[in-house]
Structure 1
């Protein structure tokens, strides 16, 4: 009975179109890759470098030619989204925009300059304003993680189409 239930669950799961996301594997033709940002301590840059290594990219060695994922701009903005009847802000939206380009070791563009913008909406409780900075920090961490994943997916799609 238990086996039939598992089999039925798997059949139902496959019928809905679910399938595990493929592992990101960068082609060896890309060669060593470095991540370049205007801020050498950028959390996004550090996380991208680690994620690229997990995806099979060889880390660049100082002084040797390598491909470069250049983060040309990184911008955060927060704006009111809605107000209550007393004109107090109730919801905010935080936007995170990153511009990037990928060049190979010879300086040739592999990926044209592109932008990705992500956003999160969140409510603001005037009675619990002490939690707002922590909530905003959590939202920024989540957006940064999602941005890293979006950039890696974009790299994967472009590299697969060129292969």
Structure 2
């Protein structure tokens, strides 16, 4: 019995130490502003966007916003919405990065360029026109066209997912929350949001766009 009593502290000490370390870590993370990815309610309950819900990009964007802010629902017209997310520009293009001694492309740079704005129900800018860029590099081999076509399509798809995450973070940013809380001094948008759905550009490839020039944008 005496030996058991002596051994008990050594058995339970590591557990207490782990608890203390976890508590200290939580305090440190909280003090530096760390927040786990999860629900981030948006400062509006209804949202309209001109990004087509029939496109992969539009459908994934809607799912991401709903997952982040379950109380926010999409409506069919800007007149019904407390906020309007307007796609101003959406470009996907390729740029030549390197050539082999014979002048053939060895590596391409894939680019997404997306510009959008967020307005309130009265057309005031809660988030002014903002351009986001996503870039990836990919090696190219003209002898395996089909494989490269599939790879480029997959990479652009992953880039659009990254772009959607960034859009959602912008919508839930503190300055957007503040803008909807105090809208009186917000500037008016230069142009009213268009009701026409914005279409997603086709994925560019060197073989499907024979006239493609380096750095050329595709609407």
With the shorter chain as reference, the TM-score category is: 0.7 to 0.9
Cα 1:103–1:122, aligned 2, differ >3 Å: closer, same or farther? same
Question: Separation in 1 of the partners of 2:91 and 2:151?
Answer: 19
Name which structure has the greater RCO, CA cutoff 8 Å, separation 6+. 2
Match of 1:65 among 58, 76, 80: 80
Instruction: Point out the structure with the larger strand share.
Output: 1
Matched position secondary structure for 1:30 = coil
Question: Separation in 1 of the partners of 2:53 and 2:177?
Answer: 29
Q: How far off its partner does 1:62 sit?
A: 3.4
Cα 1:71–1:53, aligned 2, differ >3 Å: closer, same or farther? same
1:32 is the counterpart of 2:49? no
What TM-score does the superposition give when structure 1 sets the normalisation length?
0.79
Alignment RMSD, CA only?
Answer: 3.1
Rg larger for: 2
Question: Separation in 2 of the partners of 1:91 and 1:4?
Answer: 53
Structure 1 unmatched runs, 5+: none
Maintained 8 Å contact 1:90/1:123: yes
Cα 1:20–1:108, aligned 2, differ >3 Å: closer, same or farther? closer
Structure 2 unmatched runs, 5+: 1-10, 182-219
Maintained 8 Å contact 1:69/1:101: yes
What TM-score does the superposition give when structure 2 sets the normalisation length?
0.61
Matched position secondary structure for 1:26 = coil
Match of 1:159 among 168, 176, 179: 176
Q: How far off its partner does 1:153 sit?
A: 1.2
Match of 1:48 among 45, 49, 61: 61
Give a deviation string over 1:80-116, Cα, whole Å, max 9, x none.
Answer: 1111122111100110011101111222211111100
* Correspondence list, 1:90-101, <5 A: 90-101=106-117
Question: Separation in 1 of the partners of 2:67 and 2:74?
Answer: 14
The residue that corresponds to 1:115 in the other structure is: 131
Maintained 8 Å contact 2:48/2:76: no
